[in-house]
């Protein structure tokens, strides 16, 4: 959020909303062509940039080259002009991020490994209207009017003005089809401090989220037994077909089809996980004023145990399964969702050091050997204490205790990890 200087107590809020498009096969083919044209525009621009001397690499020269290419190549001209300009701006921004140390250098976009997307930079071109309770209509350049699933109120019609409007959109394709992500800017009252209590959260596998007040947030497996069996079947089929492919030979259409079937099942699991995360984090943000989480290093936690040729690792398969479970829970995304949802409600998200929270007793705050009997049970071996209870709730209470005793993390740059209402910006897939 950004505070408006001319309107005290009012903040400018920018967020996104993603909705599913209802396309027939012909419309989907048109968007596929535009997305491939956008990807090719990026690749041609990248080659042009690397071939020219540094003195000739200018935005004006790149714009001239793109205009000439769209005029001479019909298959490149299917991309709307504003979408082509958006590719150019994104490419130049990628180099700025590289020069400023925020990202690596831009790279070539491969056909089958690149996410297909098309940018619509101006909201006035969309002409969004609501048809009825479940569906809306949006205008897509060079395609026309298309229906989309209406799942959230948008500033359209009489509800839209210069302060409340759709500023643009991006068309994105995943394994389940084409979606549109609207960019929305509105004005809202600055949130008052959240009156809710403080809570610590411990993230785990058996219990996804354990709270310090003995509450839990759990979910069913993302895929049913039948879906897991289908996924395993397609993965085995893909492995067999890869075995018949010779080195350097192009991937067959049958193998690509199998890859698509695998991607659709995994996309279904991801969508269910996102839905659960949104609902769970919204409930937590509505209930608690301060949420404390562990500062987990997921990269280190999910590092492979293979080792080296000279020193091979142990229990590699078991560690690989644990890594898949950790990555499947997407703890980092849960923290991101909590950050902006708490910020928009006047709440606070804080992070504390993670080491030792599972081995420490929350009652006497001593660490004794073998206190954690198993995944679910904690028994303090201190003779003066002897507390017994759920191990995850014990860790969550330790997390909250560390925050209350002043152990909230502060990075070296001096910016506190505590995230408050002044820096919450909702990501494009938020609800």
Burial 218-231 (b: 16+ CB within 10 A, else e): eeeebbeeeeeebb
pLDDT for 426: 42
pLDDT for 370: 77
Q: In the beta sheet, which residues pair with residue 119?
A: 170
Report whether pLDDT(431) > 80: no
Are 256 and 241 contacting, i.e. CB atoms less than 8 angstroms apart?
no
Of the pLDDT bands very low, low, confident and very high (cuts 50, 70, 90), residue 425 is very low
Alpha helices in 21-142 (DSSP H): 25-51, 59-72, 74-77, 81-99
pLDDT for 388: 85
Structure pTM? 0.82
pLDDT in tens, 179-233: 999 999 988 888 888 899 999 999 888 889 999 998 999 999 999 999 999 999 9
CB neighbours of residue 380 within 10 Å: 22
The angle, 0 to 180 degrees and rounded to 10, between the axes of the packed helices 81-99 and 25-51 is 40
pLDDT for 279: 94
Q: In the beta sheet, which residues pair with residue 367?
A: 360
428's CB contacts (< 8 A; 6+ apart) are 16, 18, 170, 181, 183
In the chain, domain spans: 1-190, 198-218+275-423
Report whether pLDDT(94) > 50: yes
Report whether pLDDT(93) > 90: yes
Query: What separation in angstroms does the CA of 365 have from each of 58, 218, 295, 398, 402?
Result: 61, 27, 20, 8, 10
pLDDT for 8: 66
Section 111-136 average pLDDT: 91
The DSSP call for residue 191 is P
Q: Beta strand 198-203 with 290-295: parallel, antiparallel or unpaired?
A: parallel
Of the pLDDT bands very low, low, confident and very high (cuts 50, 70, 90), residue 23 is very high
Section 24-50 average pLDDT: 94
pLDDT in tens, 149-188: 999 889 988 888 888 999 999 999 999 999 999 999 988 8
Alpha-carbon torsion (252, 258, 264, 270), positive or negative: negative
3-state secondary structure of 90: helix
Q: How many residues does the chain have?
A: 431
pLDDT for 22: 95
Average pLDDT, the chain: 86
Quote the strand ranges of 50-208, DSSP E. 117-120, 129-130, 135-140, 144-149, 165-174, 177-189, 198-203
pLDDT in tens, 300-355: 777 887 776 677 777 778 888 888 888 888 888 999 999 989 988 999 999 998 88
pLDDT in tens, 351-401: 998 888 888 888 888 887 777 777 778 888 888 888 888 888 888 999 999
Percent of the chain with pLDDT over 70: 92
The DSSP line for 412-428 is TTS--S-B-GGG----T
End-to-end CA distance of the chain: 16
């Amino acid at each position: 959020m950004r505070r408006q200087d001319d309107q005290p107590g009012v903040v400018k809020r920018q967020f996104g909303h993603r909705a599913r498009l209802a396309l027939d096969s012909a419309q989907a083919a048109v968007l596929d062509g535009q997305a491939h044209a956008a990807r090719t525009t990026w690749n041609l621009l990248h080659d042009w940039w690397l071939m020219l001397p540094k003195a000739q690499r200018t935005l004006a020269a790149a714009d001239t080259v793109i205009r000439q290419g769209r005029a001479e190549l019909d298959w490149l001209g299917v991309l709307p002009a504003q979408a082509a300009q958006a590719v150019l701006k994104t490419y130049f921004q990628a180099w700025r991020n590289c020069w400023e140390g925020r990202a690596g250098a831009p790279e070539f976009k491969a056909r089958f490994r690149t996410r297909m997307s098309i940018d619509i930079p101006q909201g006035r071109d969309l002409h969004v209207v609501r048809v009825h309770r479940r569906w809306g209509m949006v205008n897509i350049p060079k395609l026309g009017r298309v229906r989309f699933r209406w799942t959230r109120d948008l500033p359209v019609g009489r509800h839209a003005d210069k302060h409340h409007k759709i500023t643009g959109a991006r068309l994105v394709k995943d394994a389940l089809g084409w979606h549109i992500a609207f960019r929305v800017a509105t004005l809202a009252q600055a949130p008052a401090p959240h009156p809710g209590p403080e809570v610590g959260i411990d993230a785990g596998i058996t219990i996804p989220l354990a709270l310090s007040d003995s509450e839990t947030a759990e979910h069913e497996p993302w895929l049913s037994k039948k879906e897991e069996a289908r996924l395993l079947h397609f993965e085995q089929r893909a492995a067999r077909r890869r075995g018949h492919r010779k080195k350097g030979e192009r991937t067959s259409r049958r193998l690509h089809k199998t890859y698509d079937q695998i991607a659709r099942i995994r996309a279904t699991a991801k969508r269910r996980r996102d839905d659960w995360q949104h609902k769970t984090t919204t409930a937590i943000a509505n209930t608690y004023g301060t949420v404390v989480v562990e500062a987990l290093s997921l990269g280190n936690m999910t590092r492979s145990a293979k080792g080296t040729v000279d020193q091979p690792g142990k229990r590699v398969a078991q560690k690989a399964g644990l890594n898949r479970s950790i990555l499947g829970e997407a703890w980092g995304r849960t923290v991101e969702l909590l950050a902006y949802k708490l910020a928009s409600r006047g709440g606070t998200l804080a992070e504390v050091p993670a080491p030792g929270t599972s081995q420490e007793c929350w009652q006497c705050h001593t660490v004794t050997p073998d206190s954690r009997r198993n995944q679910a049970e904690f028994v303090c071996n201190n003779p003066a204490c002897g507390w017994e209870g759920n191990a995850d709730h014990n860790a969550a209470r330790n997390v909250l205790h560390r925050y209350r005793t002043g152990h909230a993390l502060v990075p070296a740059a001096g910016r506190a990890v505590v995230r408050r209402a002044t820096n919450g910006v909702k990501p494009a897939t938020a609800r």
